């Protein structure tokens, strides 16, 4: 018979991820609601109207950014933002993060393993060619690999020769979950 402690622990392991996931989703929705809910007229407002308006506005922005004239205006705006000290660094970091998870960026979606003096490490190719950077960084045969750290919102980027990487058959989500939990997710062979 299982002890009360074991039963409680099993309940806690099931309860905490569900509650935290719901809490984070509700927090994100409440931020979106508070940002966009103010623009909904009071007579037609209902809880969730700000979220609907936010999704609609994001969709319209996506349509407009694909239009030639608007994309040119967006490019000018982007260049101005990137020149502002501090703001440009934050903007670039957020843009790079969004680009990392963009499914249309095929190579950036590759999960790889590299050998280091500390052992094998799992990472993600963030730039598949360094030809557009300074020649001292490398060329077409080197890639940038981001190595996330377990249990932290951090990591480091390293330049690795293509011959020194092993491409893993893991999605970014599975690999990130594996790395962020220090392998405790127990990636199964599928």
Confidence of residue 187 (pLDDT cuts 50, 70, 90): low
Q: What percentage of the chain reaches a pLDDT higher than 70?
A: 88
Q: Flag the least confident range among 28-32, 103-107, 109-113.
A: 103-107
In the CATH scheme, what is the code of domain 106-180? 2.30.30
Q: Is the pLDDT of residue 4 over 80?
A: yes
**pLDDT at res. 184:** 75
Q: Is the pLDDT of residue 106 over 60?
A: no
**pLDDT at res. 104:** 62
Q: Which tokens sit at 117? A: 């003096």
Confidence of residue 190 (pLDDT cuts 50, 70, 90): very low
Q: Which residues contact 81 (CB under 8 A, 6 or more apart)?
A: 87, 88, 91
Q: What percentage of the chain reaches a pLDDT higher than 90?
A: 13
Confidence of residue 100 (pLDDT cuts 50, 70, 90): low
Question: Vertex 99, ends 167 and 79: CA angle to 5°?
Answer: 140
Q: Who wins on pLDDT, 185 or 73? A: 73
If you average pLDDT over every residue of the chain, what do you get?
A: 82
For the chain, give every domain's residue range: 4-100, 106-180
Q: What's the pLDDT tens digit per position in 107-148?
A: 456 889 998 888 888 888 887 777 777 777 776 778 888 888
Burial category of 71 from C-beta neighbours within 10 Å (exposed 0-12, middle 13-18, buried 19 and up): exposed
């Amino acid at each position: 018979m299982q002890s009360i402690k074991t039963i409680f622990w099993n309940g806690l392991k099931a309860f905490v991820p569900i509650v935290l996931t719901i809490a984070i989703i509700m927090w994100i929705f409440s931020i979106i609601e508070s940002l966009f809910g103010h623009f909904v007229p009071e007579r037609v407002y209902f809880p969730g109207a700000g979220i609907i308006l936010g999704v609609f506005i994001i969709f319209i922005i996506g349509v407009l950014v694909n239009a030639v004239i608007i994309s040119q205006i967006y490019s000018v705006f982007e260049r101005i933002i990137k020149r502002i000290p501090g703001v440009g660094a934050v903007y670039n970091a957020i843009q790079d993060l969004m680009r990392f998870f963009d499914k249309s960026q095929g190579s950036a979606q590759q999960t790889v393993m590299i050998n280091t003096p500390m052992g094998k490490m799992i990472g993600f190719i963030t730039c598949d060619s360094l030809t557009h950077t300074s020649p001292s960084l490398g060329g077409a045969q080197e890639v940038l690999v981001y190595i996330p750290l377990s249990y932290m919102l951090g990591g480091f980027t390293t330049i690795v020769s293509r011959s020194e990487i092993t491409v893993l058959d893991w999605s970014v989500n599975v690999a990130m979950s594996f790395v962020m939990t220090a392998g405790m997710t127990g990636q199964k062979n599928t």
